Structure 1
Amino acid sequence: MPRSARRALLRSLVCCAAVAVSGAAWAQSGKTVRILVGFPAGGGTDAIARTLADRLKDELGATVVVENKPGAGGQLAAQALKASPPDGSTFFISHDHTITILPLVMKNPGFEPARDFVPVAGFASFVNAFALSPGTPAKSLDDYVGWVKGQGQGKGVVGVPAPASTPEFLVKVLGEKFKLDLTPAPYRGSAPMMGDMLGNQIAAGVGSVPDFIENHKAGRIRVVALGGAKRQPTLPDVPTLAELGVSGFEDLPYYGFFAPAGTPKAAIDQFSQALAKVITVPEVKERLTNLGLAVEFMSSQQLASRERDYAKSWTEIIRKSGFQPQ
């Protein structure tokens, strides 16, 4: 065997051994792996995290706990990740808002993703949705526009799960498009927003499909428009925003896991490999799909590339909106 091939084989064996030792150490020491969630229990991200955690514990040979740190659109959880020891015991499940959008709309979010975090793996993409509360008489986005205009001066309030988020920008775009005076009402996550929607405290809300889909299927709310370039298999009768003349929301947000910078590559590789297996389990994939996710594994490098591309497109959207970082 050529020397270069022997060196490559040795590196591969060392890497595999490191991952195996890491997993064995987790199992033998009774180590606990934390998955940080930046939103309250009961929301879409929380449901996804708990679905994955239930299976990851077997693949990792460790206790896996979901730890909710709600507040500021995931900012508190991201700061907690930054402060966590880089020993492979703490991971952060996040969608685009915390990792990509927050650093673009805040002068000092308390973390810098490229410096403080390392992408571990991605597992899904999704779309955002515009939904109506049960007491709202409108049955479609056009109906809603007409209904708001008929309420006097075209004023309306739309819930969003976090301030300065993709849903908030969507509310502003819809207001401009349909000449409405729409005010986004930020919440501490989708769960409290959904509570107010179900109680008819607000007439409409914007959030991810996972936030809305179960209540939509149960007939408690109505999803009337979706982001993305094409209709979603889980909601085939709901038109896209593009179909309704609202452009700029075709790029799909993503879900992924991140770890503190400096986390050993062996721990990152093991978690990534475990996640890749878990999302192929039929029950897990079905559950995630039913929550409105398009399940797709992304390696650390692919997740980093996806984040960079998403940040680039949203930098332009935010610039055009005239929004100034706060």
Structure 2
Amino acid sequence: MKKILLAALTSLCALASAPAALAQASPNYPVKPIRIVVPFPAGGTSDVLARMVGQKLTEAWGQPVIVDNRPGANGNIGADHVAKADPDGYTLLLMDMGNLTISPTLYPKLPFNPQVHLAPVTMLAYSPHLLVTSSALPVKTTAELIAHSKATRGKLNFAAAAGTGSAPHLAGVLFAQRTGAEWGYIPYKGGAQALADLISGQIDATMNGMVATYPHVKTGKIRLLAVSSKNRLPQLPDVPTIGETVPGFVSGSWQGVMAPAGTPKPVIAKLNAEMARIVKLPDVVEKMAAQGAEPQTNTPEEFSAWMKSEIAHWGKVITDAKITLD
């Protein structure tokens, strides 16, 4: 009798939890508002992209999409919030994946593991860094910058836009590791302040996103040497890539979406398909191009493999440079 009662209770518990699980995996998803957490301040690339995608999701599915900005700790505060959220598809993370793949090595006490506590949905966009220098610096090419940095024996300053351990900072570290360039790193809270000091000549070089940087290039206030993408940009066909001088060099900003681990696969698949469709819409492509970004989507499995590779890649860069943050 006890065994029968125990079996009955187990069945009742399973039935009680079944509606929630079925609701999560329901083809009717979503049935309530979706929240996209952006772990950076409003106005940046991740925020702009979240609002564009969110509007299109609302139009397609008829449910409000709320963008929730939770900045701090190179994106870790917002990412941790999503990692601990209910895995029901109604709380998502949209951020620069470069920051997320850097964090496991950079922060020894990181309160979550991106590969364990977050589930990849899809990549959305990629935008390269621009390698720029002060107009006063006597260099016009990447090769000349490398030679000049060696000749001045570390007297040059490289602006670590967005702070120590940020993607722009580590792009500069990787560049130095690969080329033997010698410079010191000056941390900044954001790219705007770094560019202001570059324009005034207080800083010699930096890498930063296209949207904020290129207007100053056009006015001649700073000098553009190269882009960090694998191939030359259609918008700047005459500007060489860093890889043309430093083979294989690629850096930049990869925006992507993740959900809490355990989110039902049908929900992940539905989000993946719809977001991949959205970022290829002509008006979205046009707006992304204005942000210096281009659509870049993949499957959850491809995204997971990419993250694993990038964590290993940036982990070595950080370890070799002996960079740590608490």
TM-score class normalised by the smaller sequence: 0.7 to 0.9
Are 1:258 and 2:250 matched, yes or no?
no
Cα distance in 2 for residues equivalent to 1:167 and 1:259? 25
Equivalent pair of 2:120/2:258 in contact (CA under 8 Å): yes
Equivalent pair of 1:102/1:109 in contact (CA under 8 Å): yes
C-alpha distance after superposition, 1:75-128 (max 9, x if no partner):
121122123332322211122323211112221222101121011111233322
Equivalent pair of 2:127/2:292 in contact (CA under 8 Å): yes
Are 1:41 and 2:48 matched, yes or no?
no
Cα distance in 2 for residues equivalent to 1:237 and 1:48? 27
Q: What is the percentage of aligned positions where both structures have the same residue? A: 27
**What does residue 19 of structure 2 align with?**
none
Q: What is the one-letter code of the residue matched to 2:249?
A: F
Q: What is the one-letter code of the residue matched to 1:226?
A: V
Q: What is the one-letter code of the residue matched to 1:76?
A: I
Aligned ranges for residues 238-277 of structure 1 at < 5 Å? 238-244=239-245, 246-247=246-247, 249-250=249-250, 254-277=254-277
**What does residue 5 of structure 1 align with?**
none
Are 1:290 and 2:297 matched, yes or no?
no
What residue ranges of structure 1 are gaps of 5+ in the alignment? Answer: 1-14
Equivalent pair of 1:40/1:189 in contact (CA under 8 Å): no
Residue aligned with 2:242, SS: coil
Equivalent pair of 1:138/1:147 in contact (CA under 8 Å): yes
C-alpha distance after superposition, 1:58-88 (max 9, x if no partner):
1232212222222221112112212333232
Equivalent pair of 1:213/1:292 in contact (CA under 8 Å): no
Cα distance in 2 for residues equivalent to 1:80 and 1:210? 28
Cα distance in 2 for residues equivalent to 1:272 and 1:283? 19
Residue aligned with 1:242, SS: helix
Cα distance in 2 for residues equivalent to 1:224 and 1:114? 36
RMSD: 3.5
Cα distance in 2 for residues equivalent to 1:236 and 1:36? 35
Say which of 13, 20, 28 aligns to 1:21: 28
**TM-superposed deviation, 1:35:** 1.7
Q: What TM-score, normalized by structure 2, do the two folds share?
A: 0.77
C-alpha distance after superposition, 1:205-251 (max 9, x if no partner):
3223455345545666543222233322222222222323x355237
Q: 1:259 to 1:320 in 2, by over 3 A?
A: same
**What does residue 159 of structure 1 align with?**
160
Equivalent pair of 1:57/1:63 in contact (CA under 8 Å): yes
C-alpha distance after superposition, 1:176-222 (max 9, x if no partner):
67776523233344455456556766454322345534554566654
Are 1:226 and 2:236 matched, yes or no?
no
Q: What is the one-letter code of the residue matched to 1:227?
A: S
Equivalent pair of 1:123/1:255 in contact (CA under 8 Å): yes
**What does residue 3 of structure 1 align with?**
none
Cα distance in 1 for residues equivalent to 2:288 and 2:175? 29
Q: How many residues align?
A: 305
Q: What is the one-letter code of the residue matched to 1:318?
A: I
Cα distance in 2 for residues equivalent to 1:320 and 1:247? 20
Greater Rg by CA: 2
Please say which of residues 191-200 and 63-72 is displaced more in the overlay: 191-200
